[in-house]
Structure 1
């Protein structure tokens, strides 16, 4: 069966689509058959990223290693069983179609609580939660006191992940490997960064997730999206003399892929 990677949280602007595209493309570049789904049916940022990539390759004549992007199939109401949710059927049909010919399926969730996101989390073998390194985003995972030191209790998103874990346990499936990815750490002052680090470390032990390094804020990510490119494509498109910032960003991606510890993956870029 394909290993399902879900990228999600319930807050926009945390870098979910950037992480999704880079993880999916890195896997494809390393020779793994990788499929991709975007569950944000309204904004569809991951899907537009993939569309931009297809258009760039067609225009430039390049054939860059890429994940195979798929839309959710449409399902007519008369195809549903009594009481069945149409979004449940659309997602399960997509996964069932992709699994036989995929090593990995990368699913990007919307930055809000939706039925599709809830179901996707229960399918996750690996759950990646990108998090901007601030207490505003930390509140998505847990409530904390005014000093930023004492955790008062889990927040709504953590509770959703807990429910997904319960569903998987009841179905006899392996536990979700939950990885919280700290993005934009470079923009934080050292005192805040230390407080965030201490809080996330304490919470990880309490509710059971691993912590991985993410991406710092860099102009390059905003430049890559319109062409559908990732950091790993820069040499292929003829960029000469990569600057230090881009080399550092590539190392961040390498560190992230190693931290995910995905089955059968040896990071080789």
Structure 2
């Protein structure tokens, strides 16, 4: 069966689609068969990213490794069983269709709590949660005492992941490997950055996730989206100054992330 990777966080602007695109493309570049779903049915940033990529390849004559994207299939009311949720059926059909041909299925979730996102989390073999390095984003994981910065307990998103873990356990499935990315890190070693780091390490032990550095705040990520490119494509397409110091460092961040994920059967070779 395909290994399912969920990229989720109930807050927008955390870099989910950027992480999704780079992970999916990295796997595709390793010769692995990768399927992709975008559960943000309104904004569809991941879907747009892949659409831009296919348009760029067609326009410029490149054949870049690209995940296989699929829309959720339509389902009529007549196709539903008694008490069955339409979104559950649409997601199930999409995943089962990709499992026939894919080694990995990456699902990009919306930055809000939806039925689709909730169900998708219960499918996760690996869960990646990008989080901006601030206590605003940290609040989705845990409640913190404002005076002492001590963790008081899990918050809404952690509770949803806990419920997903319980569903998997009751179905006899293996536990979710949960990786939280400290994304958009600043270059300076500020006091607030250290406090968040300490809080993340404490919380990781209490509720069971691994902490990984994500991507630093770089203009290059915003520049790549309109052409559907990733940092792994720059050398191949011959972008001017593709290997400047900043881009080399960003490429290493992608490599470090893939190593941290430790996905089954993946040999980091880029």
In the superposition, the TM-score normalised over structure 2's length comes to 0.98
CA deviation string 1:130-181 (max 9, x = no partner): 0001001000100101146300110000000000000000000000000001
Aligned to 1:98, the other structure's residue is in SS state helix
Distance 1:148 1:26, change over 3 A: farther
2: CA distance between counterparts of 1:21 and 1:37?
Answer: 11
Compute the displacement of 1:184 (Å): 1.4
CA deviation string 1:12-35 (max 9, x = no partner): 000000000000000000011000
1: CA distance between counterparts of 2:150 and 2:45?
Answer: 35
Aligned to 2:153, the other structure's residue is in SS state strand
Compute the displacement of 1:187 (Å): 5.4
Are residue 106 (structure 1) and residue 106 (structure 2) matched? yes
Aligned residue for 1:43?
43
Aligned to 1:146, the other structure's residue is in SS state coil
CA deviation string 1:38-71 (max 9, x = no partner): 0000100000001000110110010001111111
Aligned residue for 2:211?
211
Aligned residue for 2:254?
253
Aligned residue for 2:119?
119
2: CA distance between counterparts of 1:36 and 1:120?
Answer: 13
Compute the displacement of 1:212 (Å): 0.9
Compute the displacement of 1:185 (Å): 1.5
Distance 1:28 1:143, change over 3 A: same
Aligned residue for 1:6?
6
CA deviation string 1:64-111 (max 9, x = no partner): 011111110000110000110000000000011110210000000000
2: CA distance between counterparts of 1:188 and 1:206?
Answer: 28
Contact kept, 8 Å, 1:80 with 1:86, in 2: the verdict is yes
4+ runs deviating over 4 angstroms: none
Aligned to 1:211, the other structure's residue is in SS state strand
Aligned residue for 1:142?
142
Q: How does 1:31-180 map to 2 (within 5 A)?
A: 31-147=31-147, 149-180=149-180
Compute the displacement of 1:249 (Å): 0.3
Aligned to 2:100, the other structure's residue is in SS state helix
Aligned to 1:234, the other structure's residue is in SS state helix
2: CA distance between counterparts of 1:65 and 1:220?
Answer: 20
Distance 1:141 1:259, change over 3 A: same
2: CA distance between counterparts of 1:219 and 1:120?
Answer: 31
Distance 1:148 1:67, change over 3 A: farther
Aligned residue for 1:191?
191
Aligned residue for 2:268?
267
Contact kept, 8 Å, 1:133 with 1:188, in 2: the verdict is no
2: CA distance between counterparts of 1:57 and 1:191?
Answer: 44
Aligned-CA RMSD value: 0.9
Structure 2: 5+ residue runs without aligned partners?
none
Compute the displacement of 1:240 (Å): 3.9
Contact kept, 8 Å, 1:37 with 1:71, in 2: the verdict is yes
| Count of aligned pairs between the two proteins | 269
2: CA distance between counterparts of 1:182 and 1:195?
Answer: 13
2: CA distance between counterparts of 1:19 and 1:7?
Answer: 8
